[in-house]
Structure 1
Amino acid sequence: MSGSDIRDILEIGKPTANDNVPRKAKPTIEKRPEGISRELYSLIGGPPPASLLQPTYKAKFTTKKKAVPWALHSFTNPARSDDLELYHWIRAKEANQKGYPFCRFDSPRDMLHYTNDEYDNYLKDHSWSKEETDVLMRLCDKYDLKFTVIADRFDVDPQRPRSIEDIKERFYTVQERLHEIHGQPYEHSFNKEREVARKHARRVLFARTKEEQEQEDYVAGEVQRLEQQRAKLAKERDHVRTLLDQNTQQQQALIPLTKKKGKPKDPSKEKKRKRKLDKEDAEAKSKMLPGVAVQSQMLSNVKQHLQSKSFKILNELGIGSRPVMPTAAICQRFQVLEHSITTLLELKKAVDKMEVEHRISQKRRRTSATG
C-alpha cells in the first residue's frame, strides 16, 4: 500500500511546499521575579535593547602627528648679579633663542633712596626714627615690596611693634617726598584709614553667622525684586495721578454756576458757555447705549480686582452697590463716589508698597551700620 492510499484513507491532503517551512521558535517568556506584582512588572518591561547601551571603554588614542622634540637647555637670569647657570626643558626649535624669555617680567621698581641731608631736611617724622626708616628701606629693596614679609622681618624696636599699614604708610610717604624733591611724578599713594576700615569690613564679613548671611541674602533678594518692580510702580503712580486729575475735574463740574448780580452778560461769554454745554451734552449722548436702556447701565464698572473692596467701603457708608433711584443727578454723584473710592484704593496700594520698600531700606541700613 502506497503512501497516497494511506493519505486517502485518513483523508489527509497531499503535502505542499508550505509544509516544509520550519516553524518559528516561540519567544521565550521571562519568568516574573518573586515579590513584584504583575502590573509593576508589565510597566517595567524587559531588559533594554542592546542599541541603547553606551560603550564604557575609551576609544583608542590614534593620532598621526609627530612627537615634538624637547631639549634640556641651560640659561642665566639677567636679573641676578651672579653667573648662576640653571637648566630647563624647552622645545628643540626654541633652543637657539638667546636670552631668558621671562626676563621681560622683571620690571624695575620705582624706588628712590635718600641721603642724610635729605632725611634731615625733608623726611623727619616724630613717630619714626632714622634707624627704623633705614631698616625699612633696606627690607623693601631686599624683599621687593612684599609688605607681609617685610612686616615679619621688621623688629628694630620690640617695644614699638609696627603693623603692615604703618610700614606701608611710612614707605609711601618717604617715596612721595623724594619724588617731589627730585621733580618726578609719583602715581602711588596709600590711605591708612581706608585700608584699616577695609580690613575691618573684611573681618566682619568673614565672621558672619549662617543666620546673618541668610538675612543678608533675603534683603538682597528683596532689593532686587524692588528694583525690578520700579518701572511698574512708576506706571501705577502715573495712573494714580491721572485718576486724581479726573476726580478734580469731575468735582469742579459738579459746582453750580452762580450768576453774578449787577453786571451785564457778555455775549461772547454766553456763546462760550453754550458751546461748553453743547460739548458736554454731546459727550453724554456718546455714552448712551444703543436702544432702550436704564440710567444705571451708564455707570462705569469698577475694576475686577477692586470690586470687593469697593463694595465693602460702600457697605460701611450705608450705600448699596447700585443706587436705588438712579436718576441722572444721583448716577453722576454715585459715579464721582466710585471714582473717589477707586482713587483711595489705588493710593492705599501705592502707600503700602512704599512702606514695604522703606522698611526694607531701613533694615538694610541698620544691617550695614552694625556690620
Structure 2
Amino acid sequence: MAGASAADVRSILSLPANATPGPSQPKKSGPSTKKPEGISRELYSLIGPSAPTLAAQIAKPRLKQKPNLGGGGKVKWQWRSFKNSGRSDSLQLSHWAKAHTDPDTEYPFAKYNVKSTEYTYAQDEYTRLLEDTEWTKEETDYLFDLVREYDSRFYIIADRYEYPNGPARSMEDMKDRYYSVCRKLIRNRPWAGDEASKAQLMSSFQFDKEREVTRKKYLASLENRTPDQIAEEEALYIELKRLEQTERRFKKERDDLLRTLMGVDSGLADLAIDDEGPFGDPKKKSKKSGGVIDLDSPATPSSSTFAPPPPKRAQSAKSAAYDALHCITRTDAPSATTPATKASHQAAAFRSMKMAYPKSSMQGKVAQVVTELGISLARLVMPTRETLAQHEALVEAAGALVETKKVVDRVDQEIRVAKARLGMRESEAPGASTPMEVDEEVGPPAEGRAPSVVSTRSARSRKQTGTTRRSLSVSSVDTTATTTRAGTKRQKLG
C-alpha cells in the first residue's frame, strides 16, 4: 500500500488545504512578537502570549550601568580664587569650581572653623585674683598668647614655649596655670545665665595636675616593660584567675556539703557559714552563728548550737498602711532552732486552699444551718485574710450550734422518758395518793447514752422502817425501751 500523502492527511483530519506552508512555499509575513527584555528565551517560549504581563514585573538587572556624575550634560569648570572667612590674613587660594556658580559665594568649609572662648584679664583682676609666686604676669601673658595663637593645642604650645630667662615648664604646669586662671575669672565675674550652666562651664576647666603626672608615669612604665616582665605579668594574671576559680568552686562545694549535713535542703533557711570553712579550728566560735561546731561529731541540728533569732524590726506606719492597702501579709522567717523537717517549711499556696470546712459527720447539718442564714460555704468571691478569718469563725460557730442542739435534744428525750416512767409507776402503785419523790440529776452527755439518776423513795417504806431506803438507779436510759421492759423492772422493785 502506497504511503499517504499530505493531502490525504489533511483530508482525514478535516484541515483546510495548504494550512502549513511547505518548503517551497513562502511564509506569510505576519506581525511577529518580539521577546521582551528581562526574560529568557526558554521561559518566553513556555509562557507564550502572557509574557508581556510578566515583563513589567521581571526587570533585567543593570549591573554594569555607569554612574551619572554630571547630572545629564557636560559641566564646565573654572579655576577660581576664593577667600576663606576663617582666616584673619589676606591669603589668596584658588580651586576648581563650576562655571555657573556664583564666585562671591562663601567658602563652604569656613563653617568648620570654630574657635574656643578666649579669656583675657585686666591689671586690676590680675592683682586681685591671679597673682602666683611661681608665675609672673609677663609669663602668664606669654602663655595666654600662645594658647590663643595655637587654639589651646597644648602639645604644640609645649613645643613652642620658649619664654626668655624663664624656668622650664612642662605641659602639665602650663595646663594647670591656664585652667586655674580661667576658673577664677569665671567664678568672680558676673554671670548672665543660671547656676547650672556656670557650674557646667567650670567643670570643663577642671584639671588635676598630680593625677595627670601619675597617669603619664604609669603609661611610661607600661611602655618601658621588657619582654620578660610582660611574660611574668601574664603568668601572674593567669595564676590569679585560676586561684579565684578554685576558690569559687571550693566555696560552692563547702556550702553544698554543709547544707546536706545540717538539713538545710529539707526546709531550713540559709546557714551563716564562717569564711574559714569546715576545716578551721574546731574550738573557735563562729562569729556569725554564735556557736561551736565540733567536727568530730556528726553535724546534725541537734548537736549544733545556733544563736537566738534577731529581734523583729518594728514596721513603720507608712509600711503598715501600704501593706494594708495592697493586702500584703508579712510572716516571720523560721528561727534557727526550728527542727529540720519538711513540716517546718511553709510552701507558697493560695489562700483559697486554706479554707476551713466542717467535719464530715456534721457537714450536712452545718451547711443547712448556714443556708438558713442566707450564706453559701461553697465558694468565696474574695478570699482575703480577713474574709478567711470570718469564714473560719462562721464554720466554728455553726459547728458549735449543731453540737449544742444535739445535746439539748438528748436531754429533752431523757426528761420525757423519765416522766413517762414516773407516771406508769404511780398508776401501778397500790395507793394512788402515795406521794413519790423524784430526784433528777442530769450529768454531762455521753456518746449514745444519756445518764440520769432517778431516786424513788416510798412514803410507806419510810414510815415502816424509818431508815430503810430503796433507790432506783437507772443508767443508760434507752429511748426505745418498751413498756414491757419498764414493767419488769418495776416488778423487781416491788
**TM-score for the superposition, normalised by structure 2:** 0.35
Larger Rg: 2
**TM-score for the superposition, normalised by structure 1:** 0.45
